[in-house]
Amino acid sequence: MQIVQAIMRLFEIHSRRFETIIQPRNVALAYFRSDSISPDIGDHETDHPEIRNSPKNFEFISACTPEISEQILKDMIVIDDFLSESEEKSLLEEAESQIQRVRYENEENWDNAIIGYRETERKNWNSENKKILKRVRDLAFPPGVSQLVNVHILDLAKDGYIKPHVDSVRFCGDTIAGLSLLSSSVMRLVHESQKDPVIDILLKRRSLYIMKGIARYEYTHEILKGNQSVFKREIVERDRRISLIFRNEPDEE
Ligand code: OGA
Ligand code: MN
């Protein structure tokens, strides 16, 4: 019975990936960087009364009107140092103990949104980690929202990366929250149909991001390859990165 459940679980994870809208793009956006702008303003108010977003972590690469950058800063929130070093270590230990049995996938298939990764899901965390994860859930999701009980654990190898995609609306609701462990990285948002604007976002090690609204639905997101991992002209060293991703239930059709 357990074997059947394990197979069902694997299929579920896999089918969610299949459902993602994948739009590989090979444009070398580095050329546009000289045009990039960052709003020269301080901390930014969000829909969450207790959270202020920091525009420092955003690089508006192209064609962003003030209205669009405003909207992005409302719908994509990045909180640096959300985790302490000891909290990161504690989460890592538990995530590692489960994921070390999984093999990395490296295949460059058209249907693979992620290259150089392994993944699993975990529901029952130890009590210390439960407290940390609750802090994420309470911040990212309003009270009463049905959240997926499993935390998605995604382990990207040092040379792993995520191609542009929008998380399937069939398997995921309106909010996606992610903790970055072990390595900083650059997440890129690209307008889904017009391919413009493009916004790069610095996801520091131990930060939390909360993606919703237009950032969730109207933009693809991706994690850049190590050799393209540049933010505001500075190289962002990529190492193996583990993300813990939280989602809510899909909207009723
Ligand atoms: C995903 C994804 C982003 C991250 O798994 O769909 O976009 O932060 N992950 O790892
Ligand atoms: Mn995604």
Please report, in tens digits, the pLDDT of each residue of the chain (253 residues total).
566 666 555 555 544 443 443 333 222 222 233 334 444 556 887 877 778 898 999 999 987 899 999 999 999 999 999 999 999 999 999 999 999 999 999 887 767 899 999 999 999 999 999 999 999 999 999 999 999 999 999 999 999 999 999 999 999 999 999 999 999 999 999 999 998 999 999 999 999 999 999 999 999 999 999 999 999 999 999 999 999 999 999 987 6
Compute the distance between CA of residue 48 and CA of residue 208 in angstroms, rounded to an integer. 14
From 18, 22, 111, 162, mutation site for ligand 1 pocket: most ligand atoms within 8 A of C-beta: 162
Token pair 């709003």 is found at 39
What is the radius of gyration, based on Cα positions, of the chain?
17
Atom number, ligand 1, closest to the C-alpha of residue 167: 6
* Spatial contact of 59 and 231, defined as CB atoms under 8 Å apart: yes
Q: Is the C-beta atom of 163 inside 6 A of ligand 1?
A: no
Share in percent of the chain as helix, strand, coil (round to 5): 30, 35, 40
Question: What ligand has the least distance to the C-alpha of 166?
Answer: 2
From 17, 76, 176, 229, mutation site for ligand 1 pocket: most ligand atoms within 8 A of C-beta: 176
User: Bridge-partner residues for 199, per DSSP?
Assistant: 60, 189
Q: Is the C-beta atom of 178 inside 6 A of ligand 1?
A: yes
Residue from 183, 163, 170 nearest 236 by CA: 183
Atom number, ligand 1, closest to the C-alpha of residue 180: 8
The CB density around residue 158, as the number of other CB atoms within 10 Å, is 13
* Spatial contact of 219 and 155, defined as CB atoms under 8 Å apart: no
Token pair 């999984």 is found at 102
CA angle 227–232–238, rounded 5-degree value: 30
* Spatial contact of 44 and 55, defined as CB atoms under 8 Å apart: yes
Residues in the chain: 253
Atom number, ligand 1, closest to the C-alpha of residue 243: 10
Q: Is the C-beta atom of 155 inside 6 A of ligand 1?
A: no
Compute the distance between CA of residue 109 and CA of residue 128 in angstroms, rounded to an integer. 39
Q: Which helix (H) or strand (E) holds 70?
A: helix 66-75
Q: Is the C-beta atom of 215 inside 6 A of ligand 1?
A: no
Ligand 2 centroid–CA 248 distance in Å is 13
Compute the distance between CA of residue 217 and CA of residue 223 in angstroms, rounded to an integer. 17
* Spatial contact of 98 and 153, defined as CB atoms under 8 Å apart: yes
